[in-house]
Every structure is written in C-alpha cells, then in structure tokens.
Amino acid sequence: MENNRVVHCEDALVWLENSPVLDGCSLIASMPDISEFHGYTLAAWKEWFTKTATLVLSRTPDEGVTIFYQSDIKVDGAWVDKGYICQKAAEALGHELLWHKIVCRVRPGQATFGRPAYSHVLCFSKGVRIHDLGNSTPDVIPEIGEKTWERGMGLEACLMIAKFIKEHTKTLTLVHPFCGQGAMLAVANALGLAGIGIERSPKRAELARILTVDDELKKFLK
C-alpha cells in the first residue's frame, strides 16, 4: 500500500455494504448534500443520508470512533441540520457522542447566505471513552485551515481529527468514505496512520492516491 494508503474508486455506499466491521479502523465521513443528487426530493435525500450514516457507524468497531464532518443546508427557507441526523443514527445503534465541535468556515461575526458559517464535527463510539479532562481540546476551531480543493476539509480540521484518533484510540487505520481529493488521508499518513479512501470520481480518486502534505501545509503538523 503505497504511502500507507489505498483509494478505491467506487460508490462508497456499495463498498460499505460489502464490508464487514472494519477491525482496527476508525471511520470519518463527510456525506454529500442534496445538491449532488439530481432529481431527489428532500425526503429521499434525508432517507439516503440516514441510511449512509447508519452504515458508516455499523462498520466501526467498538475500539474505534466514527467522525462526521458536515455543513448544514437551507432548503426552501428552512435549515436542515445534518448533525442532528447523524446523532439520531448513532443513538439508534448505541453509539455515544464523545464530542461535538464547530469549525468556522468564515471569520466569526461574518454573515453568510444559503450555508452556515460553520461545520459540525461529531465523534461517536461504542467503546472509546475520554475521562481525563486534561486531554480536552477546543470546542470551537476558529480557522478551518488551508484546503486542497473547494469542497475539501481544511487542514486544521484534518489534523485535529487525525491526532484524536492516534492519541485516544487503539486503531491504526483511518477509513474515509467520500474522501474527495484525499486531504484527510494525507494528514493521517503524515501522523503515521494508514488510510483507506473510497471515492466514486476517477479524477478525485487518482488525486487522493498521490496527495501529500507539502511544505506550506506542514506548519499544521508542528
């Protein structure tokens, strides 16, 4: 596995359905919103989103964590809270919420339209528990960090997630359905974790196989 990473170019939902519980792994997912589902009603997309969140959680072993990175959307003037949907799916499967952080997508105090100025990052687990308050990290991350592409995760958020998995779980591999261009995988590798990505776009999957944390981004790893 070159660079301790493998990326499967296929539908993440199908890949997960065909996988057993992924022993030794923690999972992170940032599921697409309704704008990427042409012809879907809001109800149909919510059903897909709930099914996918449930599937991701069901493939996480007790010693691992499931982390969702999601930005809410507005449809017909009403907010759709993706974090709430993830929490409902986790509760139904008996996964407890370890933490819920907010990542600022724009400078605090700045108005946005259509999408909120923040993203949710939620961490769930069946077996992992954090009892030492001295290991707490900020609940609000004011800078998303540099992004490798427009819809990618910021490097600050990627680093926070990878460090938590490395320091607070026994898992050594990060599995990332819907991995996009692979920023999360590149940061995981930089911290010594193996990475498995699933991405249906051939172009993005190829980029995810080779992306590395360059000199400019290495400042986040110091």
pLDDT, one tens digit per residue, over 53-106 is: 999 999 999 999 999 999 998 888 888 999 999 999 999 999 999 999 999 888
Number of domain units in the chain:
1
| Distance, C-alpha 10 to centroid of its chain | 18
- Cα–Cα distance for residue pair 24/175, rounded to 1 Å: 10
CATH code: domain of residue 80: 3.40.50.150
pLDDT of 2 over the 50 cut: no
Domain that residue 39 falls in: 2-221
pLDDT, one tens digit per residue, over 97-136 is: 999 999 988 888 888 876 788 899 999 999 999 888 777 7
Reported in sequence order, the residue ranges of 55-167 that DSSP labels E, i.e. its strands, are 66-70, 73-75, 78-80, 96-104, 118-125, 140-141
Find out whether 220 and 156 touch, Cβ atoms under 8 Å: yes
Assigned token pair, 167: 């320091």
Place of tokens 């724009």: 106
